[in-house]
Structure 1
Amino acid sequence: MDTPAVPLPQDAREQAVLDSLVVIRDKLLLLKQDRTTYIRSQDVIPLYDETISRVKELDEIRTETGNKEENRLDKVLESCFQLLSLFYLTIGRNNELPANYALTSTIKRLLDHLTEADLYSAKDLESIQTTLTNLSNSIKQAESREHKAENSPYLLKLLSNRVTKCLATLENLQKRLGRIGEPLLPTHEKLISILRSISLANTKAKFSSAEVQKLQKQLLDIGEKRKDGQFVDENGNVPQGSVELGELYQRCLKWSEMVLERKGSMPEQFRPTYETLVGIRNELEKLSLTQAWALRETDLYDFQRQLDKIDESRQNGNFYDDRGRPADLYTQRTMLYLIRRSYAYIYSFILASEPVSEALLPVYNQLQTLKRCLLEVRNSGGVSSVRELYPYSMKLNSLDNLRVDGKFVVNGDIPEGQGSVSELLAECFDLTYDLRVAAEEATASNSDGQ
């Protein structure tokens, strides 16, 4: 596992902690790669406890020495927490404190990129605002007296600091967005949307000039609604933010022209990085279509590491080739778009992670599909006879029969997420019962009518 070029610890005791953490990280990586069996709580919790013990040691050493310099130990510790966090999601312990670490890492990246690009809409901030509020509440709850004993003070402090920093960045972004007056916000959101669509078209395997020209026409249509070069409201007044919106409009227009000129061609020296980024984006896009069935949360670690490495290789925001030459504006923007898009996918995957162990996911996913089908049947008028419900009832009973003493058991274990799966099963039974009653009543009233 390549760790960034960060110095080794000077203190011999810190070096011993580092050696222990490297062993833990390697165990976690081996566990992540093993596809022959489901990951169980008992595989993960001891490694988490061991990490927390090493952290306590480290805290004592640094309190004594007063060392605040970051070294390789901090990087390896970060990897351990990142992996453990994704493992907690994989085993369905989403509501426990360690599960939040990976989410805070991704949110920080997204917010830093939004700040740097200054291209975002209110919609982009809404989801992050909700997530950070939820994280903040979880941390406050974990800090409360009844939960304090079961949580590491180090992890609590670390997450609390991360969330506080993210909230401060978010507040700055919201203030910056406040420059745009209310009447102009829909136009602002539309421009951001077109800009992203152009960037998407620019990174497709087969470049389509027609697609970009169509988007460019949408931009020009927006531009034509200006009066004397200014964006106005429906009464013809110039609201606050008209100048900022005009600048954004020009940026979008220039970008569309640049993309049409370059047609997706990337300078040779940046092609390997570009292809890596396109590969990551495409893999994540594929996963977004089959996420419930194909994604193991720990898989996200490798994508994160690759993205972090490329993102951190930038100097003053730009990419440099082997000979120290900076990328031109087109190359820089194209690669940054791919990095941001990939982080956004990772964020959505972590948010969508269900509090169910991967051992129970096959049953959970089947019940989710069954529930969707039953809702569809109900919303389209129900069934004309009870017979039509047989396939659903048979599937439901076959899943219910997997339970032993009311619990779903997998290879002798009782995985996390029993409550979520049982609740979903009960919902499906309720839906089939309601449909059956409605069908029986309809059949009875038809018989009476005849």
Structure 2
Amino acid sequence: MNQKVPKEEQVILENLINVRARLSAVKRDRSSYLKLDDIMPLRLETEEQMKKLSEIRGGRLLDESRELNRTDDVLDEILQILSLCFLSLGRYVSIQLVSSVYSQVITIKHIFDRLNEVGVYEEEYLHPYKAKLDEIEKILIQDTKNDIVPEYAIQVLRYKFIQCGKIYENLLNTIREVDDELIPIRDRMLRIRRNLSSICCKKEYTPDDIKPLQDELHEIDDLRVDGKFLGPDETTPPGQGVLISLLEQLYYLSHDVIFACSEDFSPALQSIRERLLEIKGHLERLELTHKWTLRQTDLFTYQHQLYDIVKLKYNYMNYDEQENPELFGKFVNDQGVAPEGQCVLDFLLHKCYRMIFELLNESTPVSEALTPVYNQLTSVRQCLSVVKKMGAPCSAEELYPYQMKLSSIDDLRKDGKFYDDRGNIPEGQGLCVDILEECYSILNSLRDESESNASTPKLSPVDL
């Protein structure tokens, strides 16, 4: 990325840096829940700067013919933080839909970049990303049609979205080059690559972990006749180039993975590897506890750290500060050389971005203020559903804890609504009330089953 900013963009850059600082302060403030009133002024300021930047650039904020600069970098950070803030406010806040999906598009873009570097995957592997892109496309179309946000404000998201679509089609075209008769061989090699990836994501491993995979690669290589994979009828099905390229890649990756656990592994790469393992460890803990502890804005810290690491791959300068295209997409050491063992870092990067994508997808569809209530209700519903599924009759004593829990949650409402600590009505009321009523319904059903011979009145919020 070109860090030089044109003179006419300097004022905009300074204003954006100021917005980023204030937005970061809001993000870090844990003294109270995020509020829409805290975020909207900063969003409007950002849109104002985007409008001015668009005018300076002739109506196009981003263009493939123009190299990105620091202004784009700071704007991207702001849009990511805003996106995560809106997710924290509630995924289905209508006016923020287009803003809330920006971070997801960026994460998919990073995942696709890693996939594009590797080359070929099963089509099923891409399905979750395609499903999310389809969902985002509907939001883009709807918000553009209804003029919910200005055109200049939606340009950046649309540009990133189109980039994702192009990479997806490229990946899909590569997949479809392989004939059905060769799919079993392809899937076998892809399984080997998944195993290599799993090994790379461990804190420690040895060459003995890789040897069985190398032996299987030799077995696959021995299936070739005159250098080609044959079909059941001894013909040469299409897709030879993809499979042979994948086979050669796996030989290289297995060697690279073994080198990364040797004493000759570059200290510069080892330092990056340790940073990635630390990030992965934090994300793994969030996967276990996110339902109760995660504020979506927390993910920006990890996204930003990963982005800083990715940028190291594209600082392709050799020792005398001259551009070297051969270093593009590779990590270099202090001598301007790309050491062996690169793939370990690439596998870890991909793993971390996938974990962030999954955490973003699992974000609760209610505001942060209602998240504790939502989590408690969904947990009670899950427990009641399991009890009902078991089919065993429950005594009144066994149902009592559920009655008490629902009653305590219901008592939090005033005039039928849940309020936050500032007396505001947070987003997600309807969903929480629906789950509460569903819990009462299941509870009534269980009580009817256990007391079918008794004339016990139905449970209701009033009864409890």
TM-score category by the smaller chain? Answer: 0.7 to 0.9
Paired residues of 2:84 and 2:296 also in contact (CA < 8 A): yes
Distance 1:379-1:237 versus aligned 2 partners, 3 A rule: farther
Q: TM-score, normalised by structure 1?
A: 0.87
Do residues 438 (structure 1) and 449 (structure 2) align? yes
Please give the secondary structure, in 1, of the residue aligned with 2:7.
coil
| 1:354 positional shift | 1.9
Deviation at 1:182, TM superposition (A): 2.7
Displacement of 1:75 in angstroms is 2.1
Residue in 1 that maps onto 2:100:
99
Tell me the C-alpha RMSD between the 2 structures: 3.0
Change (3 A) 1:221 1:437: farther
Q: Do the aligned residues in 2 keep the contact of 1:90 with 1:358 (CA within 8 Å)?
A: yes
Check the 8 A contact 1:367/1:424 in 2, yes or no: yes
Distance 1:136 1:257 in 2: 41
| Rounded Cα–Cα distance in structure 2 between residues aligned with 1:291 and 1:402 | 23
Q: Which residue of 1 aligns with 2:286?
A: 287
Contact 1:98 1:155 in 2 (8 A): no
1:350-391: CA deviation from partner (whole Å, max 9, x where unpaired): 122122111111111112222221222122224343432111
1:64 to 1:111, Cα distance in 2 relative to 1, 3 A: closer
Between Structure 1 and Structure 2, which shows a larger proportion of helix residues? 1
Q: Does 1:337 align with 2:347?
A: yes
Q: Distance in 2 between matches of 1:353 and 1:64?
A: 34
Match of 2:193 among 186, 192, 195: 195
Which of 205-214 and 333-342 deviates more?
205-214
Q: Would you say the 8 A contact 1:38–1:358 is kept in 2?
A: yes
Structure 1 residue corresponding to 2:428, chosen from 411, 414, 417: 417
Question: Residues 144-175 of structure 1, C-alpha deviation per residue, up to 9 Å, x if partnerless?
Answer: 2xx31x31221223322322232122112111
The 1:36/1:65 distance shift into structure 2, 3 A limit, reads closer
2:279/2:302 contact within 8 Å kept: yes
Q: Which residue does the alignment assign to 1:447?
A: none
Number of corresponding residues: 434
Aligned match for 2:360, one of 345, 350, 354: 350
Moved more, 152-161 or 132-141: 152-161
What is the one-letter code of the residue matched to 1:276? R
Deviation track 1:204-238 (CA, whole Å, cap 9, x = no partner) reads 22325554455556666767877887656677765
Partner letter of residue 91 of structure 1?
L
| Partner residue, 2:389 | 379
Match of 1:36 among 31, 35, 39: 31
Aligned partner of 1:448 in structure 2 is none
Partner of 1:303: 302
CA offsets, 1:264-314, max 9 Å, x none? 653223222221111112211221222212221111112111211221221
Q: Supply the distance in 1 between the matched residues of 2:138 and 2:197 (Cα, whole angstroms).
A: 36
Aligned to 1:86: 84
**Aligned CA distance change for structure 1 residues 326 and 374 (closer, same or farther; 3 Å):** same
Which residue of the partner structure matches residue 73 of structure 2? 75
SS of the residue corresponding to residue 153 of structure 2 reads helix
Structure 2 residue ranges without an equivalent (≥5):
317-327, 456-464
| Letter paired with 1:278 | L
CA–CA separation in structure 1 for the residues paired with 2:72 and 2:414: 45
Whether contact under 8 Å (2:120, 2:171) holds in the other structure is no
User: Aligned in 2, Cα 1:90/1:189: closer, same or farther, shift over 3 Å?
Assistant: farther
Q: Distance in 2 between matches of 1:291 and 1:104?
A: 21
> Of the candidates 412, 418, 433, which is equivalent to residue 408 of structure 1?
418
Kept in 1, the 8 Å contact 2:292–2:375? The answer is yes
CA deviation digits over 1:162-210, x for unaligned, max 9?
Answer: 2223212211211110012234435534432332222322342232555
* Structure-to-structure mapping, 1:52-71, within 5 angstroms: 52-63=47-58, 70-71=68-69
Counterpart of 1:339 in structure 2: which amino acid? L
Alignment of structure 1 residues 20-419 onto 2, 5 Å: 20-63=15-58, 70-94=68-92, 96-144=97-145, 147-148=146-147, 150-208=148-206, 211-213=209-211, 215=213, 239-241=237-239, 244-253=242-251, 255-256=253-254, 258-260=256-258, 262-263=260-261, 266-314=265-313, 315=316, 316-328=328-340, 331-411=341-421, 412-419=423-430
Contact 2:283 2:352 in 1 (8 A): yes
Alignment gaps of 5+ in structure 1 = 445-450
Q: What is the CA distance between 1:98 and its match in structure 2? A: 0.6
TM-score, normalisation: structure 2: 0.84
